[in-house]
Amino acid sequence: MTKPMKENDELLVREVKSAYDEELQVKEKEDIENLQRLLRQLFQLQTDDQLNYGIYRIMNEKRAEVEKFITKTLPDQVREACTDLTPEIARQHRSFIFSHIHSFFSRYYEKGDFMPPCI
């Protein structure tokens, strides 16, 4: 009688762990998408290509590089930094990192301009 109860407990633990892991995956995905959206706004990647002078010309020329950094390089570097951790802890850390980068940029940048805190 003890054995079936133990199997049920193990099954329950696996189900809870699986649900928790799914929740972490969703949170990490949301955090990185929020950061990517904010970085695209700050770098004004959604603006028209019609502006072709000064800084806009440079940004248009570098648009593909900036987009690659936002979508591939940055997430890859964060994942690489967390490779020594267990998958669950790594996922938590990645989510934490993306969330805090987002908080920093949303706090100190507005429409692409640095807004230092008032002292």
62: domain range? 2-113
Is residue 29 in a domain? yes
**What is the reported pTM?**
0.74
Distances (CA, A) of 16 to 1, 22, 25, 30, 93: 23, 10, 14, 21, 20
pLDDT in tens, 1-21: 456 667 778 887 788 888 888
Name the domain count of the chain.
1
Rounded Cα–Cα distance for residues 35 and 9 (Å): 39
- At 31 the pLDDT is 94
8 Å CB contact between 28 and 94: yes
Is residue 103 in a domain? yes
Would you say residue 119 has pLDDT above 70? no
